Structure 1
Amino acid sequence: MTIKKNVLLLETIAEEALVMLQDQVNVLTGYDSISLQKAIDKYTINAIITRGKGQINKALLDACPALQAVARCGVGLDNIDVHEATARNISIIHAPASNASTIAEHTLALMLMLTRNLYESIQQVKNNNWNWRNQYNGDELHGKTLGIIGLGNIGQRVAKLADAFGMNVIYSSRSTKDVPYRQVTQTELLQQADIVSLHLPYTTVIGTLLGAQELNLMKTTALLINTARGALIDHEALVKALNTNSLAGFAADVLPEEPPKHPNALVDHRHTLITPHSGSLTATTYRHMCVYTISNVLALLRDEKPESRSVYNLSALQRQA
């Protein structure tokens, strides 16, 4: 069934999801400022869809007064002004928990790479330096204490994988979870963990989670992993900790600014591994996030009820905080 509605895409989406959308609505693209302005000037926009970079801010909401929905083919909503959209009774659609498995896998991959110094070993072999094995310096996950800050869907997946590796898992969270892992304060976690992994959103309530004071609590042999949000860490303090050997290593899939300015002290540091925010871009997860989000946007535009968990409820989350 074709709906006489106009949907604006700020970024590309999976082919299957795009076909679903084109089959039912008029699809417009605003991948750059020129095409975006042209679409807004010429059409009445009923829904806007983005992924991780296209910004749905107050200015764009002002320019599209007929909006019924804004959506992100993903989990976090950092690039959508959820307060402004909620105030205007615009539905916010996303794909919660859709990336839990793939981000957990990516986290363990970074953990293994960093702990075992695999990247350096691979590069040395590619340079035909097999004598590298005589100076190899790495360790294993088994027996190490993993401290997880934020034990939501992703954090719990990471905990299960780490448990399978024989790690001792502890966690800090605003609420107690029904899990077989020991809950501690964040201070205790930072002091006890051999590896710390972040799995919580960046919000104005949480803000910068780890600054110089928090980093100084960690063991000098500890590793820090961030596959959540780059702004959770004070990166100036992080570089200083790495430079003074008060932290052994850092791996991340997220940075406060992406891509960062080049050269970059953190990206270029010999004790860091940074991937280009690609943790959710596996073929399976990317397709699922896009198809799920689009199907629920289309349901809303047909005046049907989207799946309840796909609709972001700001007021409910504020009551829980």
Structure 2
Amino acid sequence: MSKNILLLETVADEAMQLLEAAENIQILKGFDETTLLHYISTERIDAIITRGKGQVRTDLMDKLTHLRVISRCGVGLDNIDVSEATKRNIKVVNAPNSNADTIAEHTIAILLMLQRNLYNAITMVKENRWADRGTYIGDESHGKTLGIIGMGNIGRKVAKIGTSLGMNVVYWSAKKEEVPYPFLDFDALLSTSDSISLHLPLTPQTENLLNASAFSKMKSNALLVNTARGGIINQKELYSALQNKKIAGFAADVLAQEPPDTNDPLLQLDNVLITAHLGSLTKTTYTKMCTMTVDNTLAILAGAQPMANCIYNRNELSTN
């Protein structure tokens, strides 16, 4: 019997080719609301594949009584109600560790851009303001303390790169890990670190973890980097901390609201550097995330064994 896979978003060409070549698989492209509602009401859906925008919550699961698999082409699962899927014996699949290298690189890249004030320095030249080099202020990372919040796959890679740059790495995580870096309690990490990098999933426990209270404990010259999830930071209180020089700068690939409002005051600050949630969008990583997810989805539907650790049915998400 043919199985129906509902795509909520496009996937990499290589992943699409795998789907099209699979036997007894019908691909349903629910990219717009009208088409999505049509498929939901007329077709038996066996699996859903999404990237990050497509939301899979209780209301959708209620309508898809034959759903066996919900797959995310990525690592974070905050767009899927994992707990509800678990209750219904629906397998939740992600692409574990697929983006760790590229997110670690992106983290260090924007940290260095912020630390050395390179984004303003580049703009200076493009605007024909070479003479303004006398006003340039930047600093190096060597010898500074890098505090990592969340020592999972990505946190470990960021720590390794930071160490190679001559930074002193410390960390806080939900539990102590077997890593060669000092574990500090949360407040001690905030007060000790010159730069802080976030590598946690967004859960009820981590939402607004970085708030006015946390900013008040940080050094006034501290830099904050977020390539995890925007909701981990209270964005209004972050803006206040930056505007009032409680902390020195912020670089991120994620925001609480994406895309942000065009008049978002955070974007107007000259000590803020934001990229458009594209840390994983290198061709290599994007293709790997999509093909890995499709391979595992097809294996499960065929009754075969998927790769280890790709099925993620737990009520709480672990550190990525």
Partner of residue 106, structure 1:
106
Partner of residue 71, structure 1:
71
Q: How many residues of Structure 1 are paired with residues of Structure 2 in the alignment?
A: 317
Partner of residue 62, structure 1:
62
Deviations 1:135-193 (A, max 9, x none): 11000111110000110000000000000000010101122222111111110010010
Question: Would the aligned equivalents of 1:56 and 1:80 in 2 still touch at CA under 8 Å?
Answer: yes
Q: How far does residue 32 in structure 1 lie from its aligned partner after superposition? A: 1.5
- Give the 3 Å change call, closer, same or farther, for CA 286–318 of structure 1 in structure 2: closer
Question: Would the aligned equivalents of 2:201 and 2:318 in 1 still touch at CA under 8 Å?
Answer: no
Partner of residue 19, structure 1:
17
Separation of aligned partners in 1, 2:12 and 2:81: 24
Q: 1:4 aligns with which of 2, 5, 19?
A: 2
Amino acid in structure 2 at the alignment position of 1:142 = H
Partner of residue 41, structure 2:
41
Q: Percent identity?
A: 50
Separation of aligned partners in 1, 2:318 and 2:68: 24
Partner of residue 50, structure 1:
50
Partner of residue 167, structure 1:
167
Q: What is the 5 A alignment of 1:191-202?
A: 191-202=191-202
Amino acid in structure 2 at the alignment position of 1:237 = E
Q: What is the 5 A alignment of 1:241-260?
A: 241-260=241-260
Amino acid in structure 1 at the alignment position of 2:64 = C
Separation of aligned partners in 2, 1:309 and 1:291: 16
Deviations 1:240-287 (A, max 9, x none): 011111111000001111011121111221110000000011111000
Q: Secondary structure at the match of 2:288?
A: helix
Partner of residue 269, structure 1:
269
Separation of aligned partners in 2, 1:100 and 1:301: 27
Partner of residue 189, structure 1:
189
Deviations 1:79-109 (A, max 9, x none): 0111111111011111011111000000000
Amino acid in structure 2 at the alignment position of 1:308 = A
Question: Would the aligned equivalents of 1:121 and 1:132 in 2 still touch at CA under 8 Å?
Answer: no
Separation of aligned partners in 2, 1:118 and 1:319: 34
Deviations 1:184-231 (A, max 9, x none): 111001001000110111111333211101111001111000001101
Separation of aligned partners in 1, 2:318 and 2:272: 38
Q: How far does residue 318 in structure 1 lie from its aligned partner after superposition? A: 8.2
Any gaps of 5 or more consecutive residues in structure 2? none
Any gaps of 5 or more consecutive residues in structure 1? none
Amino acid in structure 2 at the alignment position of 1:163 = T
- Give the 3 Å change call, closer, same or farther, for CA 255–155 of structure 1 in structure 2: same
Q: Tell me whether 1:135 sits opposite 2:135 in the alignment.
A: yes
Tell me how large the CA RMSD over aligned residues is.
Answer: 1.4
Query: Bigger CA drift: 35-44 or 272-281?
Result: 35-44
Question: Would the aligned equivalents of 2:231 and 2:255 in 1 still touch at CA under 8 Å?
Answer: yes
Separation of aligned partners in 1, 2:317 and 2:258: 28
Question: Would the aligned equivalents of 2:251 and 2:272 in 1 still touch at CA under 8 Å?
Answer: yes
TM (norm. structure 2) is 0.96
Q: How far does residue 132 in structure 1 lie from its aligned partner after superposition? A: 2.2
Deviations 1:7-57 (A, max 9, x none): 000011000101101222111111111110111122111100000111111
Question: Would the aligned equivalents of 1:146 and 1:168 in 2 still touch at CA under 8 Å?
Answer: yes
Q: Which has the higher contact order (CA 8 A, sep 6+)?
A: 2
TM (norm. structure 1) is 0.96
- Give the 3 Å change call, closer, same or farther, for CA 286–192 of structure 1 in structure 2: same
Separation of aligned partners in 2, 1:162 and 1:308: 29
Amino acid in structure 2 at the alignment position of 1:168 = N
Separation of aligned partners in 1, 2:15 and 2:318: 34
Separation of aligned partners in 1, 2:318 and 2:201: 17
Question: Would the aligned equivalents of 2:69 and 2:93 in 1 still touch at CA under 8 Å?
Answer: yes
Partner of residue 301, structure 1:
301
Q: Secondary structure at the match of 1:216?
A: helix
Partner of residue 117, structure 1:
117
Amino acid in structure 1 at the alignment position of 2:262 = H
Q: Secondary structure at the match of 1:311?
A: coil
Q: Tell me whether 1:285 sits opposite 2:285 in the alignment.
A: yes
Amino acid in structure 2 at the alignment position of 1:302 = A
